[in-house]
Amino acid sequence: MTARAISEVIITNEVGLHARPSVKFTKLAKTFPCTVEFATSEEGPWIDAKSIVKVMGAKAPKGTRLLLRAQGEQSTTAIAELIALVERGFDEGGGHGEPR
């Protein structure tokens, strides 16, 4: 079995997993060799985090709980970095998603 990582995060930026955030999210996911998937509930469906069509298709607004899992090489780093991106509000500026 290869390495497996799983974690979750809440989307806090105003528009959710919208166009620009999705571009950033998939671009980052693609930098890792492992598979990366996400879901909005434990029952799935699990969605390929490297496909912008599928990521946008999830239409996840602000407040969505995002479950993330990765399998393979660098899976822990992949999950950590993706979660950090969501927590930073996708670097859209203005401090959205900063815990207060």
Partner 1 sequence: MASPGRIFGQAASAGFAHGPVHLARRQGRAYVAKSTPERELQALQLAVEAAAGEIASAMSQLSGDAADILEFHLAMLEDGSFSATAAEAIGAGATAYDAWKAALDAEIESYQASGDAYFKARSADLSDIRDTVLSVLTGDTAHAIRPGAIHVDEDIAPSRFLAHDWSKGGGLALRKGSVTSHVAMLARARGVPMIVGIGDSAIEDAAEALLDAQSGELLVSPYPAQIADFNDRRTASQAQQREADALAPHPAITRDGESVQVLVNIADPGDVDRISVDHVDGIGLMRTEFLFGGDRGLPDEEMQLAAYRKVLDWAGGKPVTIRTIDAGGDKPIEGYTIAEDNSFLGVRGIRLSLAKPEIFRVQIRALLRAAPHGSLKVMLPMVSVPGEIDAARAMFAKEAADLASADVIHQMPEIGIMVEVPSVAITPARFAAAAFFSIGSNDLTQYVLAASRDNARLSALGSADDPAVLSLIANVASFGKARAIETSLCGDAASDPEMIGLLLGTGLRRFSVAPARVAVIKAAVRLWSGEGSVK
Residues at the site binding partner 1, with contacts judged by CB under 8 A: 13-16, 18-20, 22-23, 26-27, 51-54, 56-57, 59, 61, 92-94, 96
* Own/partner pairs, 1-4, CB within 8 angstroms, 24+ separation: 2/34, 2/71, 2/72, 2/73, 2/75, 3/34, 3/71, 3/72, 3/73, 3/75, 3/76, 4/69, 4/70, 4/71, 4/75
Q: Is 96 a catalytic residue?
A: no
* Shortest reach from residue 18's CB to partner 1, in Å: 5
**Nearest distance, CB of residue 79 and partner 1, angstroms:** 22
**Which residues are designated catalytic?**
18
